[in-house]
Amino acid sequence: MPLRHLLRRLQTGKHTSGDPRPKWLIELIESVAGLFEPMLGVARVGYDCWPTESDWTICLYLGDTEVVGGKEDGRQEPPEFSFDLLGLLERIDEVQRLQWSVFPATAGPGQELGDRSFITVIGRVGDNQVRIRLLSIAPDAAGPALKLFPNGDCQTI
């Protein structure tokens, strides 16, 4: 079931006057989302962002795929992916800090738990201070992003 396309468009809708995110931020998120490349199959970029007193914090990740049907029904699989770090740095006007944080996971017998890590880039985009985090695994609260059916079809959630 070789699926070959990355779902690159964030499903955020059009910028409206009630949206607290400035246009430059939405454009940055969409641009950075395009730098994810799944190793196999399809993936959907998820994100969260919020303003702080000093910057806009943006977390991006690829959402899990939930298997539907068969003996693996309900299992959630995090995607394997690569990310174009140089492409990210090219989108930041002034990089002030670049950091990789790793939290090795331990699991009991019969449990699988992947290492969690993230890369943080702190800098400026235009006149705006940003903190961008690239997460290796989607946050637990995100839930699955795609459903994978036995016939190979994928559906966004």
Q: pLDDT digits over 97-148, tens only?
A: 999 999 877 655 555 556 689 999 999 999 999 999 999 989 888 888 778 7
In the numeric block, which tokens belong to residue 46? 């998820």
DSSP sequence for 64-93: EEEE-SSTTTT-EEPPPEEE-HHHHHHT-S
Burial class from Cβ neighbours inside 10 Å (0-12, 13-18, 19+) for residue 64 reads buried
Report the pLDDT value the prediction gives residue 107, as an integer from 0 to 100: 56
Write down the mean pLDDT value for the chain. Answer: 82
pLDDT at 32: 97
Residue 90 falls in which region: left (phi positive, over 0), alpha (psi -120 to 50) or beta:
alpha
For 90, half-sphere exposure in the C-beta direction (CA atoms, 13 angstrom radius) is 7
Q: What percent of the chain has pLDDT over 90?
A: 49
- 133 in Cβ contact with 118 (< 8 Å): yes
Token pair of 118, please? 């993230």
Distance in angstroms (rounded) separating the CA atoms of residues 41 and 48: 23
Beta partners for residue 50, in sequence order: 57
